[in-house]
Structure 1
């Protein structure tokens, strides 16, 4: 890529970060959606089709955690967590370490009425247990509340606590220092008061779709707009948005080579358990689903020294992806087991070949560990990471746009690892 390209990619990344954390339903997210409509139109040469996505907007109006001796503790309410009664809940904290199924089972008799505390895990890893899985186990076991400990000193952590219509708990992220102060010794059962006030309202977000048609179906290039409050959501997902703009711009410059069309989709309310893309996929007819050859989903494509494709069980796309990566001269890791951690999951559930490109998979030292924390800022992203992700994504997208029909048919072959 030329210096001009690198400069524009970085300029657009910074403009996205300038919008702030982009929590859905906030002025930050609205500004980012308007920005992406403008930048997307400039990159693709077509105006955005705006698709309304109904959802229940959520806001934490107040939150506090008071420990033994009246000590006030830091906390970050989890997105869409439940509220406590007005006076809060007073309960003992039960530390379940990582929060494995075995830990929940071993302490099943101690959980009812207590606040369960677990550890946040690197989100991009083969053996990660998602926080919502832990929260669900806490609910089923009768817990009164839920605390999750951040990944590094000084860090609280955010993230969603539930899916739409599902039961939830008062839940918050705390720092490792707070966890150590609350439970300084193994087996400690400190009594705390947790108070969380929330408000909800019916609302609408906007998906942005840019269609550049051709004769035979399409490839969907996607990235999500929304993020979280604590910082700039730079890795998750300012990086994916900026790279998607650059890749679309470069692919359209080679439009004469295409065998199929391109749809660039900027989804919203992704952090609301993938609501925007779920709404989009659900509205597709059977014929429209069949016409999508591949979903290339860019989410957190910077923040690590390596790139991995999460291939959602579609073994048939893996040789294609490796060939494209080889043509770009960029190593690509593969992880086949299905992970429902970004918008590609809704395509895969509908039988559409889909993968998520992500940086830092399995690397506990990568900046990707800062996702959902106050350190997810542009300073955590190296400019060369954006360029590398754009080069690889362009190679994959162009290979998908130009592949013959018999090749794309093989992509629908699913196989579990």
Structure 2
């Protein structure tokens, strides 16, 4: 059909515009993203590394890629340090009531004895919790201290925390001026001599998960609790020093992961590649619908639409679903290592992480001024507002390609209500997603890809420019247990395989 619209020889000065219109019509009138996400969530669950759901999701993607007509459909294996969740427990063992507490001005009845008050309030109280990925197995009893956001300033203000269990929140550190990842907070706790890490979400009723190390086992037990549990412990601390027992029973074992790959081959310059990625994996406490089932379904829909009009696609579009992102960008690190010799041919990397909500879309441009300029131009041309971030963000799958000097963005959108306040919690489920939101984000992504396919390539950065762009993160990577350039340790790309 595309050739017929172009004319007999298939030539036109406005192939870019025609492809834009054809894929837009395809996505608006026949979008399959919602149905695909439903299968990924209901059949694959959280798709956590090593789970049966991860394998079911992998096989479903391979089936759909072949059905949609993509070429070179295959997987590439890698080995990594897997983490297996076990039961966890958090229990108050001692509340040492401070002198004068429980008398006039305190919360207790006037005249109540410290022994009665101390034994009747909090001791033996167990709080629901779960381990954070890459927590080791452990059994620790220690005095608990509240740190807050867990940045440099908060740990300095807390003083000596050696031998103590620390409660750290998921908040940003005021005045820090950059993202503060939980793995950095954990690393700061370890370096300060803490013996247990208790992660408290500040939103109501839900505990939040997320890795504390990158492809390696942590040094101290790490558990997550709700705001309500954390605030109750803090109220007990108002009485006097509180001791808690933190127990984790998690295990580690060698595992094999897969990146799932399929191409829409270019008709003009097939050796030039636009790489489009999303992480298929999520966390094991939910269906991981928004993070990142939505992103996976969105790029699958873009692949479907582009494959229908491949005669209008001038360069190869390589779609890659990475795994292991949530525990250290494992799949993308391995892919970038295995294909480093092809970096010159990869003109651009378009990563899609936390998408499908249909709210205001945005891109992180990884410090490339030309990328910022280009996407502002695209925003105006498409009459689609885009939030454009300028900084280098090392916590999603475009980052390993940034280390190769390849220009990249990470695309995401806000949820229907303007936020994704349930990400990394048990509430990240399919029912939060809508057909309209997935269609809108698929449309924006496919239209942005059309422009990248036809426009002049953005120059790569030199190794020196790349090193300079991440120099300010070296201390952060040290606390997070990553290599000095931010890559994860101990990964082994194993090569190509094709599951039956």
- The verdict on a shared fold, with TM-score over 0.5 as the criterion, is yes
* 1:76 pairs with 2:130: yes
SS for the counterpart of 1:48 is strand
Contact 1:122-1:369 at 8 Å conserved across structures: no
SS of the aligned residue for 2:90 comes to strand
Partner of 1:139: 190
Question: Normalization by structure 1: what TM-score?
Answer: 0.91
- State the 1:5 CA deviation: 4.5
The match for 2:164 is: 114
Matches within 5 A, 1:2-401: 5=29, 7-18=31-42, 19-46=44-71, 48-67=73-92, 68-84=122-138, 88-109=139-160, 111-121=161-171, 127-165=178-216, 167-184=218-235, 189-214=241-266, 215=269, 216-286=271-341, 288-303=342-357, 305-360=359-414, 366-401=418-453
Flag the 1:292–1:7 CA change in 2: closer, same or farther, 3 A: closer
CA contact (8 A) 2:358 2:441 kept: no
User: Within 2, Cα distance between the matches of 1:307 and 1:4?
Assistant: 17
Contact residue 359 and residue 368 of structure 1 kept, 8 A? no
The alpha carbon displacement at 1:304 in A equals: 6.8
- Check whether the contact 1:303–1:359 (CA below 8 A) recurs between aligned residues: yes
Matches of 1:169 and 1:81 in 2, distance apart? 7
Deviation at 1:4, TM superposition (A): 7.0
* Distance apart, 1:291 and its partner CA: 0.6
Flag the 1:268–1:280 CA change in 2: closer, same or farther, 3 A: same
In the TM superposition, residue 166 of structure 1 has moved relative to its aligned partner by 6.4
CA deviations on 1:135-157 (whole Å, 9 max, x unpaired) are 01001100001111124211011
Q: TM-score, normalised by structure 2?
A: 0.76
CA distance in 2, matches of 1:220, 1:367: 28
What is the CA distance between 1:217 and its match in structure 2? Answer: 1.2
- 1:206 positional shift: 0.9
Q: 1:185 to 1:115 in 2, by over 3 A?
A: same
Counterpart-to-counterpart distance in 2, 1:4 and 1:304: 13
SS of 1:409's partner is: coil
Alpha-carbon offset, residue 37 of structure 1: 1.3
**Are 1:91 and 1:144, in contact at CA under 8 Å, matched by a contact in 2?**
yes
The answer to whether the Cα contact below 8 Å between 2:360 and 2:386 also exists between their aligned partners in 1 is yes
Contact 1:302 1:368 in 2 (8 A): no
CA deviation vs aligned residue, 1:240-259 (integer Å, no higher than 9, x gap)? 01100111111223323333
Q: What do residues 33-66 of structure 1 show as CA deviations (whole Å, max 9, x unaligned)?
A: 1111112222343352211110111112221111
Give the match's secondary structure for 2:318.
Answer: strand
Contact 1:304 1:367 (8 Å CA) reproduced:
no
Task: Report the RMSD for the aligned CA atoms in angstroms.
Answer: 2.6
Secondary structure at the aligned position of 1:408 is classed as coil
1:314-343 deviations in Å (ceiling 9; x for gaps): 121122222223333221011111111210
Tell me which moved more, 209-218 or 18-27: 209-218
In structure 2, runs of 5+ residues without a counterpart are 1-24, 93-121, 471-500
Single out whichever of 17-26 and 212-221 deviates more from structure 2.
212-221
1:50–1:208 CA contact under 8 A, matched in 2: yes
1:284-323 C-alpha deviation (Å, 9 max, x unpaired): 243x101101111011013472211011111211222222
8 Å contact 1:115–1:147 — kept in the other structure?
A: yes
CA contact (8 A) 1:315 1:411 kept: no
Structure 1 unaligned spans of 5+: none
Query: Does the aligned pair in 2 maintain the 1:116–1:145 contact within 8 Å?
Result: yes
Contact 2:141 2:243 in 1 (8 A): yes
- Deviation, structure 1 residue 128: 3.1
Q: Counterpart in 1 of 2:5?
A: none
Aligned residue pairs total 407
Shift of 1:379: 2.2
Q: CA deviation at 1:237?
A: 0.5
The answer to whether the 8 Å contact 1:296/1:355 transfers is yes
Asked whether the 8 Å contact 1:44–1:248 carries over to 2, the reply is no
| Structure-2 separation of matches of 1:189 and 1:7 | 58
* Match in the other structure for 2:459: 409
